[in-house]
């Protein structure tokens, strides 16, 4: 059996790939994504990948047909297509979201019909259901009108209409609608945090026991399902070619008392949603939080689900209960769990490459810090201090200047990894962003343990300067062009050359600081590796940069 997965690099997609690649009945998997994951990591390495944006804007009918035709080619030979691609952010851009979520689903449906795919399994949602004002469980026959003030619910309901159209026009295609609850897992923590909380909400507040009392909207109740269980549900409907709609949820409903027991000390206070909503709306419009007030409206309106049909038809049973699933997510949110794909990348600092809270704490601790440093990846734990015969002030300036440069470099390479994620450069840029970021943390740890000032205001200025440098005079973010990537790669090559010089200097100074030289020699070797890898990327990019009509694929 061959299965194609549209949107295979996100939370659900990654776990569906886990399930498909472990199933002996599935002979091959093709992943379709606008941003390629790290294809050297599991489960992504077990799939063939096609880069395609189902939400791309089509200038005319010919361009629209070209997108559908390319999708159909990707689906060729597939027994089933799993459609998971969905935009939750940027939720201030409704046109983009609807183009991806609704029009993108229509493109997938048309491509399935054109390619002769036997089954389309589509990620619908609990949010597709029409509002209720009671706690009576509803099965799959309940109407799917969505919550009018929720863009997510409205688009999920519109997606259901697209599936209705497919069933009417192509009865030979088995259409399966997976109306899932909230899908959680520890390794989705960073992704869910970015999509729903944003950079300003402290993740530590979500650690169980952190809050003395939990404020909750009055009448809230939640359905959740573990991502591994959801993936097994997808696998079962594919293997059994089960059609129709299925509610996918853990057996338990989480009520306020359950949430309070999990999130704090069991104490909670219920607040009218009407009082909460204006504050959410204000915070969302001010870009303080990532979720708009429509999510609150939807949470209060969706029905309690009856999940018995999936069990009855396929024999599926959840292996995780609702409470353990939520606890696992909270752990992932606090720790920043992730996987090797762009949507699921492990938790960034509050601003990518900006000084982290940990940097500020290091600066505040001063001479009370434990004078040992562990170099990540080397296994070396070192004691350090600056001896009297070295100029402490000059060493501090030198290391701080390098930390400032590294902050800007990490921000730049992180942005490049996102901007070019859907090209052949994307996976290597993503790996470099992770590794160069780790090298910056090595330097910050050394400055901390030598009790030298890290000058966090300079790191913040470097982060701001790098972000301002992305702007055109018209105030818009720099658009992607073949020349941009060439110039940015040249800047990064210069940056890692400077980093190499830093580690070589510290190799020479290590005996004076009472430190072993080997860790710094290894870090210098890493920098040489960065140089050669950036040089290869530069070679790939500079070819098409100046040729008319060519671009980086």
Rounded to whole angstroms, the Cα distance separating 123 from 146 reads 15
Which of 302, 335, 368 is where one domain is finished? 335
Q: Answer yes or no: pTM beyond 0.85.
A: no
Same domain, 142 and 236: yes
Residue 403's domain is classified under what CATH number? Answer: 1.20.1260.10
- The rounded Cα 339 to chain-centroid distance in angstroms is 8
**Pairing assessment for the beta strands 182-184 and 224-226 based on DSSP bridges:** parallel
Residue 322's domain is classified under what CATH number? Answer: 3.40.50.720
Structure tokens at 276: 């909460």
DSSP 87-120: --S-TT-HHHHHIIIIIHHHHHHHHHHHHT-SEE
In a domain, 343, yes or no: no
Reported as a single tens digit per residue, the pLDDT across 19-48 is 999 999 999 999 999 878 888 899 999 999
Which of 272, 302, 335 is where one domain is finished? 335
Same domain, 316 and 372: no
In a domain, 533, yes or no: yes
In a domain, 350, yes or no: no
Rounded to whole angstroms, the Cα distance separating 302 from 253 reads 13
pLDDT band, very low/low/confident/very high, at 481 (cuts 50, 70, 90): low
Q: At residue 467, does pLDDT exceed 90?
A: no
Same domain, 180 and 120: yes
Q: Exposure string (b/e) for 128-139, b if CB count within 10 Å is 16 or more?
A: bbbbeeeeeebe
What's the angle, vertex CA 138, arms to CA 132 and CA 140, rounded to 5?
A: 120
What is the pLDDT averaged over residues 245-265?
91
Same domain, 96 and 189: yes
Residue 468, pLDDT score = 47
pLDDT band, very low/low/confident/very high, at 480 (cuts 50, 70, 90): low
Same domain, 320 and 397: no
Same domain, 259 and 146: yes
Structure tokens at 553: 């694929």
Same domain, 61 and 162: yes
Rounded to whole angstroms, the Cα distance separating 167 from 353 reads 48
Reported as a single tens digit per residue, the pLDDT across 159-199 is 999 999 999 999 999 999 999 999 999 999 988 988 888 77
- Tell me the chain's radius of gyration from C-alpha atoms: 25
CA distances from residue 404 to 370, 397, 408, 443 in whole angstroms, order as listed: 23, 10, 7, 11
Percent of the chain at pLDDT exceeding 70: 86
Which of 304, 335, 366 is where one domain is finished? 335
The residues pairing with 183 across neighbouring beta strands, listed in sequence order, are 225
Same domain, 230 and 122: yes
Reported as a single tens digit per residue, the pLDDT across 390-429 is 888 889 889 888 988 888 888 888 888 888 887 888 888 8
Residue 324, pLDDT score = 94
In a domain, 342, yes or no: no
Contact between residue 205 and residue 324 where contact means Cβ atoms under 8 Å apart? no
Domain that residue 113 falls in? 2-335
Same domain, 306 and 430: no
The mean pLDDT value of the chain amounts to 85
Residue 353, pLDDT score = 34
List phi, psi (to 5°) of 302: -65, 150
The residues pairing with 254 across neighbouring beta strands, listed in sequence order, are 222
In a domain, 117, yes or no: yes
In a domain, 137, yes or no: yes
Residue 361, pLDDT score = 36
pLDDT band, very low/low/confident/very high, at 307 (cuts 50, 70, 90): very high
Maximum Cα–Cα distance across the chain? 83
In a domain, 552, yes or no: no
Q: At residue 457, does pLDDT exceed 60?
A: no
In a domain, 433, yes or no: yes
Same domain, 366 and 476: yes
DSSP 246-308: EEE--SPPBPHHHHHHHHSSS-EEEE-HHHHHHHHHHHHHTTSSSS-THHHHHHHHSPPB--H
Same domain, 169 and 211: yes
Same domain, 321 and 377: no
Q: What domain count does the chain have?
A: 2
């Amino acid at each position: 059996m061959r299965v194609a997965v549209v949107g295979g690099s996100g939370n659900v997609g990654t776990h569906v790939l886990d399930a498909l690649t472990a199933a002996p009945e599935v002979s091959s998997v093709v992943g379709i994504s606008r941003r390629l994951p790290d294809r050297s990591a599991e489960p992504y390495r077990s799939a063939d990948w096609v880069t395609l944006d189902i939400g791309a804007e089509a200038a005319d009918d010919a361009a629209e047909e070209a997108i559908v035709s390319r999708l159909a080619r990707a689906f060729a030979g597939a027994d089933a297509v799993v459609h998971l691609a969905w935009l939750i952010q940027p939720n201030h851009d409704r046109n983009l979201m609807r183009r991806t979520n609704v029009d993108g689903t229509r493109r997938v449906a048309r491509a399935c019909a054109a390619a002769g795919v036997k089954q389309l399994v589509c990620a619908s949602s609990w949010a597709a259901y029409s509002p209720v004002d009671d706690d009576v469980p509803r099965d799959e026959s309940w109407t799917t009108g969505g919550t009018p003030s929720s863009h997510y619910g409205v688009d999920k309901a519109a997606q259901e209409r697209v599936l209705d159209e497919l069933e009417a026009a192509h009865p030979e295609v088995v259409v399966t609608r997976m109306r899932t609850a909230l899908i959680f897992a520890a390794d989705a923590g960073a992704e869910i945090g970015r999509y729903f909380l944003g950079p300003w909400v402290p993740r530590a507040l979500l650690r169980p026991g952190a809050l003395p009392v939990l404020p909750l909207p009055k009448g809230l109740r939640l359905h959740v399902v573990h991502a591994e269980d959801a993936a097994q549900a997808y696998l079962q409907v594919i293997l059994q070619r089960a059609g129709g709609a299925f509610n996918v949820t853990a057996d338990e409903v989480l009520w306020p008392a359950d949430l309070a027991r999990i999130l704090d000390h069991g104490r909670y206070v219920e607040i009218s949603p009407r009082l909460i909503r204006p504050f959410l709306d204000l915070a969302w419009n001010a870009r303080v939080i990532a979720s708009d007030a429509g999510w609150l409206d939807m949470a209060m309106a969706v029905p309690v689900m009856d999940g018995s049909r999936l069990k009855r038809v396929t024999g599926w049973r959840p292996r995780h209960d609702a409470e353990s699933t939520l606890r696992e997510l909270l752990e992932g949110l606090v720790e920043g769990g992730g996987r090797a794909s762009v949507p699921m990348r492990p938790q960034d600092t509050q601003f990518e490459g900006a000084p982290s809270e940990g940097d500020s704490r290091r600066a505040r601790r001063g001479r009370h810090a434990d004078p040992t440093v562990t170099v990540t990846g080397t296994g070396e734990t070192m004691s350090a201090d600056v001896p009297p015969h070295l100029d402490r002030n000059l060493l501090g300036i030198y290391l701080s200047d390098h930390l400032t440069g590294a902050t800007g470099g990490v921000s730049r390479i992180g942005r490049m990894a996102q901007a070019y994620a859907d090209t052949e450069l994307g996976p290597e840029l993503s790996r470099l962003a992770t590794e160069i970021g780790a090298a910056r943390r090595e330097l910050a740890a050394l400055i901390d343990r030598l009790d030298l000032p890290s000058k966090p205001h300079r790191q913040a200025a470097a982060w701001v300067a790098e972000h301002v440098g992305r702007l055109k005079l018209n105030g818009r973010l720099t658009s992607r062009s073949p020349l941009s990537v060439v110039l940015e790669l040249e800047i990064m090559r210069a940056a890692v050359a400077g980093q190499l010089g830093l580690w070589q200097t510290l190799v020479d100074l290590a005996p004076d600081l009472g430190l072993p030289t080997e860790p710094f020699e290894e870090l210098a070797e890493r920098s040489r590796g960065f140089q050669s890898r950036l040089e290869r990327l530069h070679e790939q990019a500079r070819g098409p940069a100046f040729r008319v009509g060519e671009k980086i694929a």
